[in-house]
Structure 1
Amino acid sequence: MTDTSTSKAATKSPQGLIARFLSDTEIDTRLLGMLGALALIWGGFHLYGVIFNNFGAFLTPRNLWNLSVQTSSIGIMATGMVLVIVTRNIDLSVGSMIGVIAMSMGLLQVEVLPHFVGLGHWSIWVLAVICGLIVGTLIGALHGWLIAYREIPAFIVTLGGLMVWRGMAFLSAGGRTISPVDSKFALLGGGPYGAVGAMGSWIVGILACIGVAYIIYSGRKARVLHNFRLRPLWAEAFLALVGWATIIGAVMLVNSYPWPKGIVRQYGAKIGQDLEGTFISHGFAIPVLILVAVGIAMTILVTRTRFGRYVFAIGGNPEAAALAGIDTRWVTLKVFSLMGTLTAIAAIIASARLNSATNALGTLDELYVIAAAVIGGTSLAGGVGKIYGAILGALVMQSLQSGMVLIGFDSAIQRIVVGVVLVLAVYLDILYNKRVK
């Protein structure tokens, strides 16, 4: 009798209600922790800007729009770094790979292709993108082959790659900056013309809301089919409402950021209309949509395919995975090839946003990518990682960097903060694993 009354009291207590809420909704506590950290970072920088009037408010449509674009390249690479770390490896070369891939694309579209197809030809940006993807994939495959088939530790291979590819980026053009890139290629980096506008953003938002509803419906249907525990209907409705509210809020945010007046006048002159005073929304930037597409594709790859199951099996226990018949070396090679492809996509966005290719592009990006994956819950011990966690981790890291730049911290302090955050994230991961065990 005493035990029953005690359990009822515990259920009615705030702690018991919170535990039941988390259990019914199945919300990841790490996700809540990252969202809490992001809220503290945004709120702290916003208050600092308002109180000291140092750089103005942080939480403005303009700043958040730019933050989303800045996060894109790091977030894309972080999704691949999740698989690399899950398999108990590391890739220190992604920043240098961005430099050499960007230089190869820049030289192709500025100094090679115009001689054959003519300046401004429509095929230039397409061929440049294809070239970048091929170069990135081949570099990643080379790393994977050395690691998997030559049995050289990933740390050594990618540390060597960090130095080799940065040197190759410098030698490819003698240290010169290659600019400007093709005008259509530059759209992949964002900017007023590199966004989908208000109407396009609402279309994306509606499709995303339909996607959320479908995910919840299909998930519940699959649970019924396999006789798994069902979430309460109120929990399903709550998750759907939160998802829809987040999407609609994001659409309203990006649509509230207008084009600069000078760009509006320039665009009006181009189309022969007087657009003075016209409000034209940016909408979602193309790099952000690429990040979302990559995140969805990587999530499906990890959770719905045999390859994804193999990756986590290898990370959990490589010996057992090999005994189960998994070709661990071939899977490792494919993981690093995929990492190279994603790095190439990030290089496309970074060089397009800069409207040029430089040998220094991507410097120290490997630090931010690894930190994003670890902050997002990827365990350095292997076998554990979330794609959405890595993207949120990238947003946390970029928010820190962006806020420190706005405050006026020099690069030395920024690196100190990033290093401390990375160590703290690993320490929290250790504590979390101990608690789970």
Structure 2
Amino acid sequence: MTTAVETPGAARPQGARGLIDALEIDTRLLAMAAALVVIWVGLDLLTGGIFLTARNLWNLSVQTSVVGIMATGMVLVIVARHIDLSVGSVLGFVGMAMAVLQVEILPIGTSWNWLLSLVLGLVLGAAIGAFQGWWVAYRAVPAFIVTLGGLLIFRGLAWWITEGRTVAPMDPNFQLLGGGLDGSIGEFWSWVVGVLFIAAVVIKAFRTRQRRNRYNFPVRPLWAEALVLVVSVAVIVGFVQVMNSYYRPRTQIPQGIPIPVLILIVVAVGMSALTKVTKFGRYVFAIGGNPEAAELGGINVRKVTVMIFVMMGVLSAIAGAIQTARLNAGLNSTGSLLELSVIAAAVIGGTSLSGGVGTIAGAILGALIMQSLQSGMILLNISTPMQPVVIGLVLISAVWLDTVYQRRRR
């Protein structure tokens, strides 16, 4: 029988540094969470208490879903030392393609119309990703150039396939993907989802501790384990409560968790599992750390690179479906400049532009920070032309902070 080995000095942490070490908290994630709290409190004060209302937080969660979904894929792209500037245009093009399929090509009024258009849209997103990945991996064209070309190509195609027309309306079932009045799961099912996540957090903590005990690895002290669990459960309960505190107009019926947010949660969990427990995830980080060594180690770098871009294309298609459903129309301008927010979310979330470093959780937090700033600027009546200026400044600051952090690590 093995005995758990606790981290030396963890039972009595010395100061903040000792507490963080005992809790095994990622300092970057902790700093981002603290920054998010400061931003929320500041915006709430500046907007006279409007920002932290249940209504605004519910809308903020829906807005974050589109950027967050694509940011999870952007993490892998940047970790592998590439970049994808085309995600906003791919979102717009695929969203428009799904709208055209649904409204003008597939039989209207059938129960499977919206579903088939969604599936075909995801296939189109994967094909676009494979096309761009092939140029990067097998023709050695820098990803910056390929995806810059993709930004122009797919934005033009979004206009070309309809000659600038707006295509609407979408199927009522398809509209649910965008949230809205009916696009949420209600109070009861929201609590069911919350309980399931709490159970998953507890089981994961128990199994992780059990596995460390089995191999005689250091484990958190019990007080630290309990504190992490309490905070995690509190966050889940608080999130569900906020989602249920927003009622449908002129009723007392809670909206619950929006469907786009559920999609984001599923994507985030799936991408986290992909990066942590699969060979593919390990290969991506190995390539980002040292591409030459990864090649010599037997990793098919070209194949993995193509798969990264295919995944990015599929995630852009999912985000395109959500955005099109939310607008209830295919618009030529959908997704314009969204690549800035996606890249900024990944970088703010701790993904290093030098490659090899990044987390899915950090990208979600980064997306939440970006959308919080966007929402706050709207509530503060900051002019539309100035909003990209703020986003650009935030992106530059994030890259600068990453450079400073990487320099200090050396």
Question: Do the two structures share a fold, i.e. TM-score over 0.5?
Answer: yes
Aligned length: 401
Letter in 2 for 1:43: V
Letter in 2 for 1:147: V
| CA displacement at 1:192 relative to structure 2 | 1.9
Counting only pairs closer than 5 Å after superposition, residues 14-163 of structure 1 correspond to structure 2 as 16-50=14-48, 57-114=50-107, 119-163=108-152
Corresponding residue SS for 1:122 = coil
* 1:344 is the counterpart of 2:342: no
Looking at structure 2, the residues matched to 42 and 434 of structure 1 have their Cα atoms a distance apart, in angstroms, of 30
| CA displacement at 1:113 relative to structure 2 | 1.1
Matching residue within 377, 398, 423 for 2:350: 377
* 1:412 is the counterpart of 2:401: no
Is the helix fraction higher in 1 or 2? 1
Corresponding residue SS for 2:236 = helix
Corresponding residue SS for 2:218 = coil
Q: Deviations over 1:251-300 (max 9, x none)?
A: 11111100002xxxxxxxxxxxxxxxx41000000000000000000000
Corresponding residue SS for 1:411 = coil
Contact 1:94 1:365 in 2 (8 A): yes
Give 1 or 2 for the bigger CA radius of gyration: 1
| CA displacement at 1:16 relative to structure 2 | 3.0
| CA displacement at 1:45 relative to structure 2 | 1.2
* Structure 2 match to 1:270: none
Letter in 2 for 1:30: R
Letter in 1 for 2:14: G
Looking at structure 2, the residues matched to 251 and 398 of structure 1 have their Cα atoms a distance apart, in angstroms, of 19
| CA displacement at 1:60 relative to structure 2 | 0.3
| CA displacement at 1:229 relative to structure 2 | 0.8
Q: Deviations over 1:108-130 (max 9, x none)?
A: 0001112xxxx321101110110
| CA displacement at 1:411 relative to structure 2 | 2.1
Q: Deviations over 1:336-371 (max 9, x none)?
A: 000000000000100001111111100001000000
Seq. identity, %:
55
| CA displacement at 1:434 relative to structure 2 | 2.1
Matching residue within 312, 317, 339 for 2:290: 317
Matching residue within 280, 288, 291 for 2:261: 288
| CA displacement at 1:33 relative to structure 2 | 1.1
Q: Deviations over 1:79-121 (max 9, x none)?
A: 000000000000000000011101110000001112xxxx321
How does the TM-score come out when normalised to structure 1? Answer: 0.90
Looking at structure 2, the residues matched to 150 and 101 of structure 1 have their Cα atoms a distance apart, in angstroms, of 25
Matching residue within 268, 273, 279 for 2:252: 279
| CA displacement at 1:208 relative to structure 2 | 0.6
Q: Deviations over 1:166-206 (max 9, x none)?
A: 00000000000101111100000001211000001000000
* Structure 2 match to 1:239: 228
Q: Could you tell which deviates more after superposition, 221-230 or 296-305?
A: 221-230
Looking at structure 1, the residues matched to 211 and 305 of structure 2 have their Cα atoms a distance apart, in angstroms, of 31
* Structure 2 match to 1:53: none
| CA displacement at 1:436 relative to structure 2 | 2.2
Q: Deviations over 1:209-268 (max 9, x none)?
A: 00110111111122122321111111111111111111111111111100002xxxxxxx
How does the TM-score come out when normalised to structure 2? Answer: 0.96
Looking at structure 2, the residues matched to 296 and 39 of structure 1 have their Cα atoms a distance apart, in angstroms, of 23
Letter in 2 for 1:163: L
Q: Deviations over 1:40-94 (max 9, x none)?
A: 21111111111xxxxx521000000000000001000000000000000000000
Contact 1:68 1:288 in 2 (8 A): yes
* 5+ long unaligned stretches in structure 1: 1-7, 51-55, 262-277
* Structure 2 match to 1:327: 300
Contact 1:192 1:282 in 2 (8 A): yes
